[in-house]
Amino acid sequence: MKNILLVMSLFLLTPGILKAEIIDSDNDGLSDADEALYYTDSNNPDTDGDTYTDGIEVKHGYSPHAGPGVQMHQYDYDKDKLDDWLEGWFHADRGKGDTDGDGDSDFDEVMRGYSPSEKNGESKFRRWIEVDLPKQRLYYFVDRVKILNLPVSTGNPGTETPDGMFEIMNKIPVKRYTGVGYDLPDVKWNMEFKKGGYYIHGSYWHNDFGLRTHSHGCINMRTEDAGLLYMYTDVGMPVHITGETPKKRNVGT
């Protein structure tokens, strides 16, 4: 008899539970529960006032906070450097810079390969660097997701950056590079990926990143970009270099 009453009680409660899950106070196609996740106004169908309902914007990957045409990956509601699309992918709170309250920002944890939503016993995500020679771009991946997309200048024709599979072998904060016709002191954020003098490093002597090749085989970056990468790379991190060097130095040749 007790079992029958228990089943009947659960049956009677279930409709109420289901109803609570799909409450949409402003009829914008986004449930109140989801409004809380996206930090939108559950009593206003168009939080950012761009004439598109919150539900439509979220469904199609647009931010419900930033006005027309701004996608989730282009907006960072909590200003923690992790865009709103990535916050969703890594199960972080879009309204908190430190979801798990452990003192490290969500961006910092993701860049180091940790889950931003787990305070203890954190998951460790796979990380790697990819360099696209034809496009002169460097990408930083965490959990198969591209977190950074940065312009670089690789080796010139005749002194090409080698393609293939490598790894970070050594990290040197400041280094001097010398050779025939050049002497470059105080080069910052040097990450060796192949014996023979092949490094990813900052470069202060040009601003052609992402436009053309510029080196004897190293991968040149803007100094601030190299500093960001240096902060989060570890010795042993994979480096994948793909494609062919632009034949006339400029991207697209």
Number of domains comprising the chain: 2
- Residues 59 and 104 occupy one common structural domain: yes
Q: Which of 82, 111, 140 is the last residue of a domain?
A: 111
Mean pLDDT to the nearest integer, 17-36: 82
Q: Let me know whether 134 and 232 are in one domain.
A: yes
Mean pLDDT, the chain, rounded, equals: 92
Residue 147 covered by a domain:
yes
CA angle 56/87/52 to nearest 5° reads 15
Same domain, 131 and 238: yes
Q: Let me know if residue 82 belongs to a domain.
A: yes
**116 in any annotated domain:** no
Same-domain status, 89 and 194 = no
Using the 3D structure, point to which of 47, 82, 111 is the last residue of a domain: 111
Domain closes at, from 81, 111, 141: 111
Residue 180 vs residue 225, higher pLDDT: 225
The tens digit of pLDDT for each residue in 171-221 reads: 999 999 998 889 999 999 999 999 999 999 999 999 999 999 999 999 999
Residue 35 CA to residue 226 CA, distance in Å, equals: 38
Task: Give me the domain span that covers residue 88.
Answer: 2-111
The first and second tokens of residue 116, run together, are 């931003």
Task: Please write the tens of the pLDDT for every residue from 138-182.
Answer: 999 999 999 999 999 999 999 999 999 999 999 999 999 998 889
Q: What pTM was computed for the model? A: 0.86
The predicted-structure confidence for 231-244, as pLDDT tens digits, reads as follows 999 999 999 999 99
Q: Mean of the pLDDT values across residues 2-23?
A: 53
DSSP 44-111: -S-TT-SSS-HHHHHHTTB-SSS-TT-BGGG--TT-SSS-HHHHHHTT--TT-SSTT-SSS-HHHHHH
106 inside domain: yes
How far apart are alpha carbons 119 and 109 in whole angstroms?
Answer: 10
Secondary structure of residue 135 in the 3-state scheme: coil
